[in-house]
Amino acid sequence: MAHDRGIIFDVDGTLIDSNDAHARAWVDAGEELGYDITYEEVRPLIGMGGDRVTPLVAGVEEDSDEGEELAKTRGEIFRRRYLPGLEPFPRVRELLQRLTDDGFKVVVASSASEEDLGALLDRAGVADLIRDSTSSDDADESKPDPDIVDAAVGRAGLPRDRLIMVGDTPYDVEAARRARVPLIAVRCGGWGDRDLEGARTVAADPAELLERYEEIFLSSRDDGAPSR
């Protein structure tokens, strides 16, 4: 039915309700190491790679000794304090199961590390449905650069015009645009329609994507025009 098409999913804020937790882990790590990182400052940056966030909130580069210490501490706090309580958004597994049953190749493109990505997919309850994945370990540059999406395109093994990406942040929109892959945006990550300008379609969450399944995933429209 749709064996020559694929879907590239972002994970944080798209499949699993984790964006707030990532922001809190930044704040907690800052408190532990003496950086004044506020939730209000870091929350809008979630969705970019940590290498881009670190200099903005802590004034150090991630590959410096200080940056590496902050990254390690933040990761440990996130995995210990927040990851065990994360939940997927409603009907996430049902959506991915239907896409898989319909023959779509389902891959993920996340700014998370490979270690964290596996744990996030397990918490989301969809690890067994993912055909392949790309993480920050597969990209020279993190979102909003297109490297992670480009890597996912390669894993999917399909032409770009046979792929759709689903994401929740302006950084996903920009990365998909630069990778020349149309994007479906969801608001459940915390951004509004204006922030997600450039997406082909904006929906509330994966449950709405499932409700609008035929319109969004089976439509023959390939003009890239946005709809709401």
Return d(Cα 34, Cα 100) in angstroms, integer. Answer: 46
Which residues fall within 8 angstroms of residue 128, CB to CB, at 6 or more apart?
none
Which residue in 4, 12, 51, 116 is the catalytic one?
Answer: 12
- Say how far apart CA 121 and CA 81 lie, in whole Å: 17
Catalytic residue among 4, 10, 116, 122: 10
* 135 vs 10: CA distance, rounded Å: 10
Q: How far is CA 197 from CA 9, 44, 52, 102, 109, in A?
A: 18, 16, 22, 29, 20
Instruction: Assess whether 12 carries a catalytic annotation.
Output: yes
User: Residue 16, Cα to own-chain centre: how many angstroms?
Assistant: 9
Return the structure tokens found at 82. Answer: 């927040």
Q: Which residues are catalytic?
A: 10, 12
